[in-house]
Amino acid sequence: MKRLTTFLLFTALVVFAVSPVFAVSKASTDTGYLGNDQWALQSDGDMVPLTDSSYDLGESGGEIANIYADAVTVGGVAIGPATAATITAGATTPTVSSGSLFKTGTGNKVTIDNFTGTTGQTIIIESDDEVTYDVTSSNLKGGTTDLVTVDGDATGWYTIDGTNWILMFFTDQSDDLS
């Protein structure tokens, strides 16, 4: 995020220096404004649109080549960094809307029957203890027998509608695949 903020700040400064289209104002808070006051460069370095969900970076045929960031949030779903959040111990319907990579936590033997997430979300869960996924009588779809995972096993799930979660994969670390 620091690189993206630095890049955007540098780009904004270059545009200010060569273009009369943009105006910068400086208040006692050191907040600058871009493009008819559509963007604010805040004193902490954040570049923020003044109207939520109203402005784009790039356009069709004018795409940005690369974005370098530590983490990105798209549609309210965090993507990265690759640090697994721990699912709350004992949660049978854990909230997973905050990211895409999770661990169950040691000493968290539980039966999960659903997830609270967002439409279009994909998640990966690594088991640190025995976890049973109720795929036979819940909104988890993964066959006709409940799935039991143990320490080191992983499952991947996706949801199209935010309600029904489809099992994409299950990795059993005790299997020898050679």
Q: Which two tokens stand for residue 165?
A: 């979660």
Q: Which domain holds residue 84?
A: 77-171
The answer to whether residue 28 sits within a structural domain is yes
> What pLDDT score does 77 carry?
66
% the chain with pLDDT above 90: 35
**Residues 103 and 147 both lie in one domain:** yes
Query: How many DSSP H helices and E strands does the chain contain?
Result: 1, 14
The answer to whether residue 18 sits within a structural domain is yes
Q: Please report which confidence band the pLDDT of residue 81 belongs to, taking 50, 70 and 90 as the band edges.
A: low
Whole-number Å distance between alpha carbons of 41 and 21: 16
**Residues 27 and 87 both lie in one domain:** no
Number of domains in the chain: 2
For the chain, how many residues are written?
178
Domain final residue, candidates 13, 37, 70? 70
User: CATH number for the domain including 97?
Assistant: 2.60.120
Mean residue pLDDT across the chain: 80
**Residues 37 and 100 both lie in one domain:** no
pLDDT tens digits, one per residue of 19-69: 444 444 445 567 777 777 788 888 888 888 888 888 888 888 888 888 877
Q: Which two tokens stand for residue 40?
A: 């604010």
Which residues make Cβ contacts (< 8 Å) with residue 23, sequence separation at least 6?
Answer: 33
Domain final residue, candidates 11, 37, 70? 70
Whole-number Å distance between alpha carbons of 89 and 140: 19
> What pLDDT score does 24 carry?
47
> What pLDDT score does 19 carry?
41
**Residues 93 and 17 both lie in one domain:** no
**Residues 147 and 88 both lie in one domain:** yes
Whole-number Å distance between alpha carbons of 157 and 133: 11
Q: Please report which confidence band the pLDDT of residue 154 belongs to, taking 50, 70 and 90 as the band edges.
A: very high
Whole-number Å distance between alpha carbons of 78 and 171: 24
Q: Contact 119/98 with Cβ under 8 angstroms?
A: no
The answer to whether residue 140 sits within a structural domain is yes
pLDDT tens digits, one per residue of 117-133: 999 999 999 999 999 99
Q: Residue 99 carries which side chain, given as an amino acid letter?
A: G
**Residues 136 and 99 both lie in one domain:** yes
**Residues 46 and 81 both lie in one domain:** no
**Residues 155 and 90 both lie in one domain:** yes
The answer to whether residue 56 sits within a structural domain is no
Average pLDDT over residues 90-96: 91
